[in-house]
Amino acid sequence: MKVKVLASAEDSMRLLLEEVEPAYANALRRVLVSDVPKMAIEDVEFHLGPIRADDGKEYESVGPLFDEMIAHRLGLVPIPTDLALYNHREDCPTCHGEGCPNCTIIYSVNKRGPGVVTSADLEPIGDAKLRPKDSKIPIVKLGDGQAMLIYATAVLGSGKDHAKWQSTHGVGYRYYPILKAGSKTLDALDPSVPFCESHMQSTSTEEEETLSAKAVLLASLDILAKRFSELATQATALA
Ligand SMILES: [Zn+2]
């Protein structure tokens, strides 16, 4: 399979796949959607009871949404992911699942109402670079006297377990067109030929602001190569 990058940006990519059956393009699409891991919030610990502010005012740890709904909304916030650094927590060689900076990010939220808690209120404990890049995602609106004090833990996961760990969206492929005008055949990639987006055999990917398009593509190719070599080993063992 030959892969040519037709267009590449930080959060999207368009590829031309040559000498390949649609099954391989689909295998790549499936790995991109469900197997490339990323970080997302998995556990949220809520403070219960009254919270006294520095000025003496007392707040109650309540809000208009159930804790489960708040935890779900926090789970969907895109968390910055460095695939070279993070391990799956259960196979982390440093901590063996206990939780450490190589497999876990802990955020705190300490907000008093009235006001809207947003993704900007997620304060990473440790490196400030781990702050969510999109700061405008609303989580919950607190009324006067209401407050939210939580600790949220993000871990690595993949899209096949939950959509919050999906590192790409809008991935698709199409056949490459044969363009004919009378007896003349035109090359679809010739810049002088008008471009028709709906007739390219290409895989286009769009990433959230947590991983670059290139990082996701490279990770997906690694996963595919590993799987094919495992399959080849198993097939050889059977022969
Ligand atoms: Zn660890």
Phi/psi of residue 41, each to 5°?
Answer: -70, 130
Q: How far is the CA of 122 from the centre of ligand 1 (A)?
A: 21
Each residue's pLDDT tens digit, 57-101: 899 888 899 999 999 999 999 999 988 889 999 999 999 999 999
Task: Report, at the CATH architecture level, how domain 38-165 is classified.
Answer: Beta Complex (2.170)
pTM of the model: 0.81
Q: Nearest-CA neighbor of 138 among 212, 83, 64, 82?
A: 64
Query: How close is the Cα of 107 to the center of ligand 1, in Å?
Result: 16
- Residue 199: other Cβ atoms inside 10 A: 14
Task: Please report, for the chain, the start and end positions of each structural domain, with discontinuous segments joined by +.
Answer: 2-35+167-194+204-238, 38-165
* CA 156 – ligand 1 centroid, Å: 11
**Residue indicated by tokens 């690694």:** 222
Rounded to the nearest angstrom, the distance between the alpha carbon of 155 and the centre of ligand 1 is: 10
Q: How far is the CA of 103 from the centre of ligand 1 (A)?
A: 4
With tokens 């440790």, the residue in question is 126
> 39 alpha carbon to ligand 1 midpoint, in Å?
13
Q: How far apart are CA 217 and CA 29, in angstroms?
A: 10
> How far apart are the C-alpha atoms of 119 and 216, rounded to whole Å?
23
Buried b or exposed e, range 112-137, using 16+ CB within 10 angstroms: bbeeebbbebbebeeeeebebeeeeb
Distance, CA of 231 to CA of 239 (rounded, Å): 12
**CATH: 1.10.357.10, 3.40.50.10300, 3.30.1360.10, 3.40.50.1370. Which one for 2-35+167-194+204-238?**
3.30.1360.10
Mind listing the pLDDT tens digit for each residue in 179-231? 787 888 877 777 676 655 555 445 555 555 568 888 999 999 999 999 999 99
Q: Which two tokens stand for residue 109?
A: 């939220």
Q: How much is the average pLDDT of 121-147?
A: 93
| Residue 118, CB-side half-sphere exposure with 13 Å CA sphere | 10
